[in-house]
A and B are shown apart, each in its own frame.
Chain A
Amino acid sequence: MQSLIYKIRYLTDGILSLTLSYNTFFFLIFLFVFLCIYFLLRKQKAKQIWILFGSVVFYAWSGLAALFIVLATGSIVYLAARKMGSLYVGYEKEKEGLSPKEQTVLFMDYKKKAKKYLLTAMFLILAVWIYVKAGKLLELDSVATFSEWISGRGIIVPLGISYYSLSTIGYLLDVFWRKAKPEKNILKLFTVMTYFPHIVQGPISKYDSMLKQLSDLPQYDYKRVCFGLQLMLWGYIKKMIIADRLIIYTQAVFTSPEQFAGVEIFLAVVLCTIQLYADFSGCMDIVGGISQVMGIKLADNFRQPFFSKSATEFWTRWHITLGAWTKEYIYLPIAMNPKFVKYTKQLKKNGKAWHSSFMKAFVPLIAVWLFTGLWHGTGWDYIVWGLYWCILMTVAKEAKPIGDKIISLLKINTEKPYYQIWQSVRTCMIFAIGRMFTVTGALTGCAVLWKRLFAEHRLWTLFDGSLYSHGLDQKNFYVALLGIVIMLLVDIMHEKGKSIRQSIAAQPLPIRWIIYYGAMFAIVILGMYGPGYDASSFAYGAF
């Protein structure tokens, strides 16, 4: 009996010590068990409860205290939304028999009341978020000690706080603006908030659409499940084979940039943008695939961003949900804010026409970019990064007429492929330069990068093999390169509108299976995980 208890204790301690993140084997086991039961449950209610259970377990693994914070936040959101909803129901009753004009006036009243709940809830969400960000990321001692005093431990960073904060605020605003109905079932709201595929890295989902999907979960469908699994495979390939491989080189350069120069820096910058894309979009594919298996559609977050022809277009293709969120909840509300509109009109009337149009474009934009910068990180480097994009977009807009004139003068045909490619390359360079601000973790690091980039050219490192001495050997570089080429080809096909999974499905069985097995075992063999095999440590030393 004793040994049985001991065995159980050993097993549970062991399991609890494992990490449950998307690229661990343990997560795959968790997912497998979750999905099996998910499909065995046929009733909607049962499926919904099971998703909630799975998500809560997933979340709890990162810390029970964090789970408590999330659920507390969710409760506040639920209450505020319900309150606003019931206020508006009251309005609907009262507005009977009134003319449209009177209804509008009446509604203004109700809106004022609802605003109180909105602002309270938003304030609480933002307060927790800023508290966590300021405390943890800026490592402010005062915040840390305060936290210790309150909860007896250091600052807890709830998993996905940056993502669920935006989604909940968006949901509250949607309810406030009557774009969405408040959810009556608090469990459903919790489910959508903690939904494990989008809690870690997004996409920033609109709860309204998620709630609707949650009420109408489909049953098992072979084709859909297969496609979902294939999407997951592709995501894992991007993340574990390409991204995690490239980061070895880029990290080596960015942690000590003074040791590198010229082409080494250039290569690191180029590769780190590809690494970021592979990592982030790979993760999106994994969670998108998981959701597809379950029958839920998550919002797209990437749409071949490196094919963008301008900075503006870029942000409609990269981290799409963030751009959409800031547009819908920051840019447009400010741009169409009556007080702001009046102010700019005033400027115009006072003869400052250019001022007026500049303000109209610039103010909402800078609000968006400061927010975006701070959302990513709290240092000066991210603020500068945000300003960089903001200035870039403003300049692009103002300079467009001049640019168009030059193009017509030089008689450049903007439809020709070479020009389109130039536009894509230009966009990539802009993105890469932006990345340089933040990749070393400090603005001083960025300055070093620029200095070292032009200090020497070091072209020889491309040929004499020294490129392969920073942690990524030649063979691994080639694997990464091959991965990048494949990624590019897939993106080209997507840009042309082709669906890869459909094309594969159209192939005969042996070819399909070879592709699947190839992908699976490529991940097992080439994936960057595990302790890593260092042949030299096995080399024979003394006896």
Chain B
Amino acid sequence: MREKVLATCLEVSPSIDFSSNELVDGGLLDSVTLVEIVTELMDVFDIEIPYEEVTPENFNSIDSMVKLVEKYV
């Protein structure tokens, strides 16, 4: 699960260091990239992520993203 998520993120934006825990709050993910990641995740995992789940807490690290995906898979 985790590798798939990480791979998807890297595909969207290869240059970002996804090991950080402050991806959104720290500014590494801007809104454009975030949109892409969300839409890619929705496509790759064939899930529907509701808009309110797109929060800094849920996307600050790969692990939080994984937790989120698992809720909707």
Binding site for B on A (CB under 8 A): 100-101, 103-104, 111, 176-179, 327, 332-333, 335-338, 341-342, 344-345, 360
Contacts and interface: CB of A to CB of B under 8 A. Distances in A.
Contact of A336 (B39, B67, B72): B39
A362 to B, nearest CB: 14
A351 B52 CA distance: 31
Question: Most chain-B CB neighbours within 10 Å: which of A327, A336, A344, A360?
Answer: A336
Interface string B50-65: 1110110000000000
Contacts of A177: 51-52
B31 A336 contact: no
Interface stretch (B5-13, B16-24, B41-49): B41-49
B31 A327 contact: yes
B71 A336 contact: no
Contact of A100 (B42, B43, B70): B70
Given A100-B70, A341-B43, A335 B49 contact: no
A333 B51 contact: yes
Contacts of A179: 52, 55
A207 to B, nearest CB: 17
B52 A335 contact: no
Given A100-B71, A104-B71, A336 B35 contact: yes
Contacts of B28: none
Given A104-B72, A177-B51, A178-B52, A332 B42 contact: no
Contact of B51 (A100, A104, A336, A360): A336
A114 B50 CA distance: 14
A360 B12 CA distance: 15
A111 B52 CA distance: 11
A337 B70 CA distance: 19
Contact of B49 (A103, A178, A327, A336): A336
A469 to B, nearest CB: 50
A104 B58 CA distance: 14
Nearest to A102: B71
B35 A332 contact: yes
A335 B35 contact: yes
Contacts of A338: 42, 48-50
Given A104-B71, A104-B72, A341 B52 contact: no
A336 B39 CA distance: 6
A337 B52 contact: no
Contact of A341 (B31, B42, B67, B72): B42
B51 A337 contact: yes
20 contacts: A100-B67, A100-B71, A101-B70, A111-B50, A176-B52, A177-B51, A178-B52, A179-B52, A179-B55, A327-B31, A332-B31, A332-B54, A335-B35, A335-B39, A336-B42, A336-B49, A338-B49, A341-B42, A341-B43, A342-B43
A336 B47 CA distance: 12
Given A176-B52, A335-B39, 17 more contacts: A100-B67, A101-B71, A104-B71, A104-B72, A111-B50, A177-B51, A178-B52, A332-B31, A332-B54, A336-B42, A336-B49, A337-B51, A341-B42, A341-B43, A344-B39, A345-B43, A360-B39
Contact of B54 (A100, A176, A327, A336): A336
B42, B49, B51, B67 pick with most chain A CB within 10 angstroms: B51
